[in-house]
A and B are shown apart, each in its own frame.
Chain A
Amino acid sequence: MKQLVLPALLAALLAACSSTGGPEQTGAKVEDRAGSGSGVATVTAPPLSGSGIAALTDPNNILSKRSVFFDFDSFVIKAEAKPLVEAHARFLVQNPQMRILIQGNTDERGSREYNLALGQKRADAVKQALQLLGAKEGQIESVSLGEEKPRCTESTEACFAQNRRSDILYSGEF
């Protein structure tokens, strides 16, 4: 019996968590007016496996710093962020096989979709800076999370400032 339980649990767990990744997934049925529905689809993010390159996560290495912050209603990379951007550009030039995802973010004020577009401009600002410094277009995807993934959730200016940022993720981290 001992041997049977684990596989059964694993199978159930996999069934509960495996619905990531594919282009076609099954969501929950919602009652048609004539019938009744059942079951709920759960989508779960894949776990981080990491890029395997120590420099990217070594807290003493600038490459472990991944966030570029912006002023209110601004899409300009501030002087203080330049060393960070330059370091990542250098790393991408030296490691042409590496790919990154840049996620732009905004504070929570205003329309979600408009904020998604504003977050895209913050991601694109970092992408363009990296390209100017030699990274290849094909290494970089810039996307927006808008106001959906705040790092800080209070409605204060200090908090809003934390959320006006772009984050750099390397292959294996997204």
Chain B
Amino acid sequence: MTETVRYNSHPEYAMNKTLHALRLILATALAALSLAAHAQLSIEITGAGAARFPVVVPIFENESALPRGVSDIVKADLERSGLFNLVDIGPLSLPESRVPDLADLRSRGADAALAASVIPQPDGRYEIRFRLFDTQKQQEIGGQVLRMAPAQNRLTAHRIADFIYEKLTGLPGYFSTRIAYVVKSGARYELQIADADGANPQAALVSREPIISPAWSPDGQRLAYVSFEQKKPIVYVHTLATGQRQVVANFKGSNSAPTWSPDGQQLAVVLTKDGLSQLYVLSADGSGVRRLATSSGIDTEPAWAPDGQWIYFTSDRGGSPQIYRIPTSGGSAQRVTFEGTYNVTPRPSADGRLLAFITRNNGRFQVAVQDLTTRQTTILTDSTRDESPSFAPNGRMILYASESGGRGILAAVSSDGRVKQRLSVQAADVREPAWGPAQKQ
């Protein structure tokens, strides 16, 4: 590097202009790359559930032995869900090795309490032992032992929060899941993967051209998305662990809106190779394309129902964009939405009971949810520019894109509309969120 700096100070060399330009481009590219990892999402809770479960999560016994803490992250996870009220007992820790004074904890207003200890291991790792107690029934609810490397404090905390959430609500937690989204800063697009709380963001792809519609494979190992890097929309499948990318749909015309089958073997996509935007199904390696439906309008935004039997999609075949569903084996489409003149982006919950989508309500685009059993629809948000809803794996929360102060932000709302959060990145547009599947533990 010292050599190159010296050249820069001698402008008489004809070569220098080229060198300087090259160096500038390189420096810009490197700076841009290093900036990426620091744009972390920050979360603001804007609403909470009505009845919140009071729980004590104390500082872990011997937690100061850890280079980076765990209990604060557990508390933040539970707090953010809007379902828990963290009862503060000060700097007191409750060792895992003995039953805490449950009557005392109950008198402080807690219905449940975590007792947890950190035990350093000879190999440099740490053992986290914890038990959860019911202060009303005066009994242990359950416990676990986790082993972690020092850098795994966040993941460990998310697992503990998942455990508490599941034991106290009866639903699986979602704190150790990941989210994908696209950050646009200037003319630069970055596909990022982060923890569900927005921490630990990592760039999977950086491009000068737009990236849209990321879709997680059911095993959480791959993302399908649409990239415009070849001056037209092409569908790629990207393996996260290796960074390997494969073109799976690059037919004449536009290729877009990928969605995975529940077994991860197939993709539904939208192609225009035969004219209008229509639905096709192909293998996840891009082979064996077949047309799923034929209409005289636009068919787009397919989403596979978790039972594998149906594909929900948006179509304007009836004059305005509405949500329909069609059997995966082919056949005739059934209309799903009837209220209003703009209902798009259907996304079913993992249990198949709810369908989230975007509805236009008096000129404002908002997140709505339909109970697929009762057919009742509820609008969950009061914003104006909502897009791209996706459910947490347990169906309790819906992540979506919205707008605030002229910038794209991510937001989440509970499927009953009570809990609301906003996630934003400083000085950048965030869009196209997709909530990943439950992580195998």
B-binding residues in A (CB < 8 A)? 1-2, 5-6, 9-10, 12-13, 16-17, 20-21, 23-33, 35-37, 39-45, 101, 103, 109-114, 116-118, 120-121, 124, 141-146, 148-149, 169, 174
Are the CB atoms of A2 and B7 closer together than 8 Å?
A: yes
Are the CB atoms of A114 and B242 closer together than 8 Å?
A: no
Q: Give chain A nearest CB distance to B119 CB in angstroms.
A: 21
Which residues 232-287 of B have a CB within 8 angstroms of A? 232-233, 238, 240-247, 250, 252-254, 256-257, 270, 272, 275-277
Which residues 306-346 of B have a CB within 8 angstroms of A? 314, 321, 342, 344-345
In the bound complex, residues from chain A placing their C-beta under 8 Å from that of B155 are 33
Are the CB atoms of B276 and A30 closer together than 8 Å?
A: no
Which are the 10 A-B pairs with shortest beta-carbon distances?
A117-B277, A148-B210, A143-B232, A30-B240, A117-B298, A27-B243, A111-B344, A29-B243, A43-B229, A174-B231
Within 8 Å by CB of B7, from A5, A20, A35, A169, lies A5
Q: Give chain B nearest CB distance to A25 CB in angstroms.
A: 5
- Given A9-B26, A112-B388, A42 contacting B33 (CB threshold 8 A): yes
Q: Give chain B nearest CB distance to A128 CB in angstroms.
A: 10
Are the CB atoms of B242 and A40 closer together than 8 Å?
A: no
Are the CB atoms of A40 and B26 closer together than 8 Å?
A: no
- In the assembly, what is the distance between CA of A132 and CA of B257, in Å? 30
Are the CB atoms of A12 and B244 closer together than 8 Å?
A: no
Are the CB atoms of A113 and B213 closer together than 8 Å?
A: yes
What secondary structure prevails in chain B residues at the interface with A? Answer: mixed
In the bound complex, residues from chain A placing their C-beta under 8 Å from that of B202 are 28, 30-31, 37
Q: Give a binary string over B193-218; 1 marks a CB under 8 Å from any A CB, 0 the rest.
A: 10000001011111111101100000
Within 8 Å by CB of A16, from B3, B26, B272, lies B26
- In the assembly, what is the distance between CA of A142 and CA of B252, in Å? 8
Within 8 Å by CB of A143, from B212, B254, B342, lies B254
- In the assembly, what is the distance between CA of A171 and CA of B25, in Å? 27
Within 8 Å by CB of B212, from A17, A31, A103, A113, lies A113
- Given A5-B19, A9-B4, A113 contacting B257 (CB threshold 8 A): yes
A-binding residues in B (CB < 8 A)? 3-4, 7, 15, 18-19, 22-23, 25-26, 29, 33, 36, 151, 155, 193, 200, 202-210, 212-213, 227-233, 238, 240-247, 250, 252-254, 256-257, 270, 272, 275-277, 298, 300-301, 314, 321, 342, 344-345, 358, 360, 365, 387-388, 431-432, 439
Within 8 Å by CB of B240, from A32, A44, A111, lies A32
In the bound complex, residues from chain B placing their C-beta under 8 Å from that of A117 are 270, 276-277, 298, 300
- In the assembly, what is the distance between CA of A53 and CA of B202, in Å? 44
Q: Give chain A nearest CB distance to B437 CB in angstroms.
A: 13
- Given A29-B241, A116-B254, A143-B254, A111 contacting B301 (CB threshold 8 A): yes
- Given A26-B244, A27-B245, A111-B345, A43 contacting B213 (CB threshold 8 A): no
